[in-house]
Amino acid sequence: MSSSEVEESGGGLVERAKADRAAKRSWFGRIILFIQQVFAELKKVVTPTRKELINFTIVVIAFVVIMMALVWVLDQAFGWFTVFVFGTPLS
């Protein structure tokens, strides 16, 4: 791969950022450069398909339910242990 191919594949933003860093752009110029780089990165984002989205959602919901159950079990165990150590509850 030649150096011209490498420069073309980067879209020029990296080279521009290096040149701007060397030139010490103004505060406003740096904000504009940052926004341009954000848009360049957002163009690389791939949205999931409907099937992937459903699978991800199911995995997250299952994880949350498992964690809720774990916290509930630990809460019950610590409650029982506290009553066992300190006696009957006041209410």
Residues 52, 19 share a domain: no
Q: What is the pLDDT of residues 3-51, one digit of tens each?
A: 554 445 556 777 777 776 666 668 888 889 899 999 999 999 999 999 9
Cα 17 from Cα 25, distance rounded (Å)? 10
What is the pTM assigned to this prediction? 0.53
Residues 52, 85 share a domain: yes
Q: What is the pLDDT of residues 41-87, one digit of tens each?
A: 999 999 999 999 999 999 999 999 999 999 999 999 999 999 999 88
pLDDT value at residue 10 = 59
Residues 5, 39 share a domain: yes
- Owning domain of residue 4: 1-45
pLDDT value at residue 20 = 61
Number of domains, the chain: 2
